[in-house]
Amino acid sequence: MKIKRHSAALGFLAAGTLVLSACGSDQNVPQGGGNPALEGLQVECGTKPVSAEGSSAQKNAMDVFARDYGLKCAGQTLNYTKSGSGKGVAGFNAGQIDFGGSDSPLSEEKGEVAAAAQRCQGNPAWNLPMVFGPVAISYNVPGVSDLTLTPDLISKIYQGQIKKWNDPAIAQANPGAQLPDLDIVPFFRSDESGTSDNFQKYLATATNGAWTGEGKQFRPGPGVGQGRDGSDQVAQSVKATPGGITYVEWSFPKNLGLGIAKIDSGAGPVELSTANVGKAIEGAKIEGEGHDLRVDLDSIYGNKAAGVYPIVLNTYEIVCSKGYDPETAKAVKAVMTVAANANPQELEKSGYVPLPESFKTKVLEAVNAIS
């Protein structure tokens, strides 16, 4: 059973605003600062500040983008308000901001595509997938530091069909492991969450429809697990609970020192790493036409190739292909160019992965075509 997916969402951060700037003035003078990728990078900075809002999932990435933009275009600012994807799309379509951040591409059914074209002076808007963040399956099993799970095992844990860590099905996926006779305690997001939405999409795709829950409200089996409000709470609950397991954005278990399961999609266990997530992004198919880079999530969630970590969420920057005034066009292109070349170490610290080179080329081709 193949389930078509057209959106991606993450919901792990609260609302707020970022304003970052640098002193002085510079046009087209390479400024490296703390990001070697900016050295020699040619951008035309423009003279206007750039305003944007939307997806809270992008907030930490936008911190990195804004800092690098301030280094590259001294005196220029990127102002990003994390208000949610809906407000980002609405603000962009109303002409109140220069680009919108969204957990999903513009919807034709909701009239967003037509409204965006009107805002862009009769020109199409493009969805640029700029921010990718992996979701970890995080666990606390005393004595177990190396754990492999399959999509079917994860699904059955959250459906209540597997209840003990030494269940024969888990043991089969972990030959030689000393699995304890310990109850599995699944935690999940009780609040509406883009992370839950995409995690359920992943499970439905990767299990060929055996997982039937969908949407931002996570739906475990009857009486299974404990709900918590927010990513920090599910992660802290796992840390405090022997036998605990949850799905959560990468930065949380890294910061707490929790175990992160390898995922076996059929070609062997795969560790969550920047390189392995990059392979999933490189294998992503594009649904949009031309420079509208809408991602087919089935091509990520259903990727069973060796070395691919498939639980990856992407968000978009929504921009006008044409229709900006000249200075705004320069500034938006500069921000997008810097974002595509953002500091990989800083992105990873924040729980994201940099764009792999082949995918970055597609994104930069679209950015360069903005006029």
| The pLDDT value given to residue 326 | 95
Residue 212 pLDDT > 70: yes
Domain borders along the chain are 16-133+288-294+315-368, 135-275
Q: What is the pLDDT of residues 151-185, one digit of tens each?
A: 999 999 999 999 999 999 999 999 999 999 999 99
Contacts of 200 (CB under 8 A, 6+ apart): 211, 213, 214, 215, 218, 219
Question: Quick one: pLDDT at residue 337?
Answer: 97
Strands 125-139 and 312-320: antiparallel
Q: What is the model's pLDDT at position 347?
A: 92
Q: Specify the pLDDT at position 32.
A: 39
Q: What is the structure's pLDDT at 36?
A: 85
Per-residue pLDDT band at 11 (split at 50, 70, 90)? very low
- Helices then strands, counting H and E runs in the chain, come out as 13, 15
The rounded percent of the chain whose pLDDT value lies above 90 is 75
Fold match flag (16-133+288-294+315-368 vs 135-275): yes
Comparing C-alpha atoms, which of 197, 310, 228, 203 is closest to residue 264?
Answer: 310
How high is the mean pLDDT of the chain? 89
Question: What's the token pair of residue 277?
Answer: 């997530």
pLDDT at 197: 86
Q: What is the mean pLDDT of residues 295-304?
A: 94
Domain boundaries 16-133+288-294+315-368, CATH class: alpha beta
Write down the pLDDT at residue 302.
95
Structure tokens belonging to residue 121: 């002076």
CATH fourth-level superfamily of 135-275 = Periplasmic binding protein-like II (3.40.190.10)
- Residue 29: is its pLDDT beyond 80? no
What's the confidence (pLDDT) of residue 104?
87
Bridge partners (DSSP) listed for residue 99: 52
Q: Residue 37: what pLDDT?
A: 82
How far apart CA 174 and CA 14 sit, in angstroms, is 37
Indicate if the pLDDT at residue 239 is higher than 60: yes
